[in-house]
Amino acid sequence: MPDYKASKPESTQFGRSIFYWGKRTYVMGVINVSPDSFSGDGLADVEGAVFRARRLAAEGADIIDIGGESTRPGSTPVSIDEELQRVIPVVEKLAHEISVPLSVDTYKLEVARQALDAGANMINDIWGLKKEPMLAELAAQKNVPIALMSNQRGSSCHDIMSALISDLKRAIKQAVDARVPGENIIIDPGIGFGKTQEQNLELLQRLEELQALGRPILLGSSRKSFIGWVIDLTPEQRSSEVAFVPPGDLRLEGTAATVAIGIAKGVDIVRVHDVKEMVRVCKMSDAIVRGM
């Protein structure tokens, strides 16, 4: 078994970029190439996705995460062919147009393989190798980072942190056994994936416990439903005062709070929709937490 008390690696290579852990928080911008994204920012065409990616890079995103299947609860899975048609043209175009590294948000082996061949530099697996263990072998073969999420959908647990840490240990061991270099393994607690709203809050309260696993931590709290639950706003909700505000903006302040607290508790990457605003939150939080 890996040494889970070891400190996280000093750095990880993402394409031509190197992320130095502990120096600052890195921002992952989200591109949803799916019409039914939970956050209201889904895009149905290549040009729209490329335009948005260019804007996120200009706003300060350190990496762009491209996904072709909605992960919202109750969404209908798409076929491999459909996901390929959505994702690959976007990756191909962006790989030639922007210098920011690209991540592919998928748990399907063939989608990940073709995305890496098209120019992606990272795999973001929301099932933490439970759906497709061969993703670890692919990451090892291509020598790319892989983010492993703890996903509780389809199961129930009363002690969320115990279940979470056990699941992440299992995923890390699978990746190590597949010869993924330790510095290429990133962990994600999976906010919103099979957790109750109370468990999402507990997870944020206890995030620092994940540091014992010795891996860089990715936090994906942006616009999640528990924020709407706390502040009593759904992403579609409108009032006379916010009639012209985009859906996700109604959770902007709540997202900012989760990002700041996550950084204080040791998070290394934040996956967000609102890059410009969250880059500023990260800079301020880093100045306080890391003494910059």
Active site residue ranges: 224, 271
Residue 234: Cβ within 10 Å count: 12
The span from the CA of 279 to the CA of 245, in Å, is: 20
H/E element, 186: strand 185-188
Q: Give helix then strand counts, H and E, for the chain.
A: 9, 10
48 Cβ neighbours under 8 A, 6+ residues apart: none
Look-up: residue for tokens 């502990």? 22
Tokens in use for 160? 């969320």
Radius of gyration of the CA atoms of the chain, in A: 18
Give the DSSP letter of residue 42. Answer: -
Backbone angles phi, psi at 147, to 5 degrees: -95, 130
What are the distances in angstroms from CA 113 to CA 91, 94, 118, 230? 12, 17, 9, 39
Dist. CA 44–CA 50, nearest whole Å: 11
Q: Is residue 274 helix, strand or coil? A: coil
Q: Which two tokens stand for residue 269?
A: 């990457």
On whether the CB atoms of residues 217 and 268 are closer than 8 A, the answer is yes
